[in-house]
Structure 1
């Protein structure tokens, strides 16, 4: 399987994308990666790679790439030779089975729509992120693809999230909830209220509203919100986790007794950190477009890129795009 990797996307490109591609190919003998980017910068990073792995790493040269500051839709149209655009073109042309990028989220979403197109019946795509909680893994959708939503967008996110959890994650009858500022029906703005009424009349297992405090405890299988709210919630969770561990380290450094307790708690703390480590998750699929597109975290290091490639490979093997297309065509509402 050949996957296209935007080697110039992300805060640590191209070094970490290259290292991540090497790691993935070392452990997955069926995987090939097209590293799309500046060949003059990529080739030296692959010089020490074993011949077996190097033969499955293909450099697709371009000196143009999209930065984090570029306007998403404008750059996607004007920078037709950018590393991201060429990677998406490879997916559209069936040269690659999927595309992975840690670059500009807006450009990835715009590219997914402009280059690959939307699945019939889906108005706007959504990024769905699995959230590990106390009782289950919940899918939070959207986390940045569609910032301003209409009720129909939230309803379609709920449908795609339910399909993802049922068909790809193996949850028999996934529960679906809207993220709101309270559990009562009177809460929420006009957009959320209208989406609620549509979902109540649908065939989905809609359970109403959940609040932000319900997401970490896994109150439902699918949590639906607009991309702005979802992105803020996701980044707050990441920051909170880093802040808590930072405070613990500071207290341990300042006092002797916590150092003794740490000796007993360290295995548990490491396990807890692993459960909520974004690098372990790797990347999240852009649901609703006609091709496998995986968005990795902008700060991704080699381990995260490696896992993002694994997510892409698994999504292709599970027929993720085809499954969503077929289920939407059935009228899953």
Structure 2
């Protein structure tokens, strides 16, 4: 399997994306990766890999890249030789079976639409993330691709989330819910209320509304919202977990008994942190486009990049785009 990696995307490029590519190729012997970016910066890093891994890493040279603070659609249009655009063009043409980037989120979404192209019938794409909750993963979408959503967008997000949850996460009959400001039918604004009516008459296993405090308790397999709300929920969850972890360490450092108890708690804390660590679960699929496009966290280090590559590989193997295309046409 051949994947394209934007080696210049993210806060820690190109060192961490290159290291992540090495880790991914160590894990999967069937994987080949094209690293798109500045050859002079990339090759000294990947040359450190073992021979069996190095043979499966190649470089497409370009000195142009899109920084994290550039205008999304303008940069993807004007920087035609940027590392991100070239990686996406490979995914579009079939030269690569998918692309991965930790770069500018807006540019990735714009490139998904303008370069890779939307699936026929899809109005707007969605970024989805599998959030670890009480006893399973809850797939939350959108988390940043479509900030202002219309009812049809939320309806289509639900369709795509259902397919991803079923075929990629392995949930036989996913429960679908809309994120709202209350669980009662009278809650929600006009957009959410209209989307609810569309979902009620669909073939999906729609269970109604969920509130923000219900998401961590696995109240639904798929939670649907606009990109603004989803991004706030995701970032808040990340912040809370990091804050709790920091507070626990700080409090234990102040007292003798907690220090003693820490010896017994360390394995549990590591396990808990591991469940919510984006470096282990990194990789946000851009759903609704005609190719495999995976967004890694902007701060990704090598393990998170490798995780995003793992998500891309699984999405290709499970024929995610084909399933979305085929099943959407039954509903749309």
Q: Report the TM-score when normalising by structure 2.
A: 0.98
User: How far did 1:42 drift?
Assistant: 0.9
Question: In structure 1, what is the equivalent of residue 212 of structure 2?
Answer: 212
Question: In structure 1, what is the equivalent of residue 304 of structure 2?
Answer: 304
Q: After superposition, what is the alpha-carbon deviation per residue over 1:125-155, rounded to whole angstroms, capped at 9, x for unaligned?
A: 1111111111321100100011110010000
Bigger drift between 268-277 and 159-168 goes to: 159-168
> Is 1:295 the counterpart of 2:295 in the alignment?
yes
Task: Provide the C-alpha distance between the structure 2 equivalents of 1:180 and 1:190, rounded to a whole number of angstroms.
Answer: 11
Task: Provide the C-alpha distance between the structure 2 equivalents of 1:330 and 1:124, rounded to a whole number of angstroms.
Answer: 18
Question: In structure 1, what is the equivalent of residue 244 of structure 2?
Answer: 244
Question: In structure 2, what is the equivalent of residue 27 of structure 1?
Answer: 27
Task: Provide the C-alpha distance between the structure 2 equivalents of 1:323 and 1:201, rounded to a whole number of angstroms.
Answer: 22
Question: In structure 1, what is the equivalent of residue 182 of structure 2?
Answer: 182
Q: After superposition, what is the alpha-carbon deviation per residue over 1:216-237, rounded to whole angstroms, capped at 9, x for unaligned?
A: 0100111000001101110010
Question: In structure 1, what is the equivalent of residue 58 of structure 2?
Answer: 58
In the alignment, structure 1 segments of 5+ residues that lack a partner are none
Task: Provide the C-alpha distance between the structure 2 equivalents of 1:46 and 1:135, rounded to a whole number of angstroms.
Answer: 39
Question: In structure 1, what is the equivalent of residue 76 of structure 2?
Answer: 76
1:219-298 map, 5 Å: 219-298=219-298
Match of 1:59, SS? strand
Please provide the CA RMSD for this pair. Answer: 0.9
Residues 3 and 98 in structure 2, CA contact (< 8 A), matched pair in contact too? yes
User: How far did 1:201 drift?
Assistant: 1.6
User: How far did 1:329 drift?
Assistant: 1.4
Q: After superposition, what is the alpha-carbon deviation per residue over 1:66-119, rounded to whole angstroms, capped at 9, x for unaligned?
A: 011111100000000000000001111111000000000110011011111111
Match of 2:100, SS? strand
Match of 1:208, SS? strand
Task: Provide the C-alpha distance between the structure 1 equivalents of 2:166 and 2:46, rounded to a whole number of angstroms.
Answer: 40
How many positions carry a matched residue from both structures? 332
Task: Provide the C-alpha distance between the structure 2 equivalents of 1:139 and 1:168, rounded to a whole number of angstroms.
Answer: 11
User: How far did 1:123 drift?
Assistant: 0.7
Question: In structure 2, what is the equivalent of residue 151 of structure 1?
Answer: 151
Residues 154 and 195 in structure 2, CA contact (< 8 A), matched pair in contact too? yes
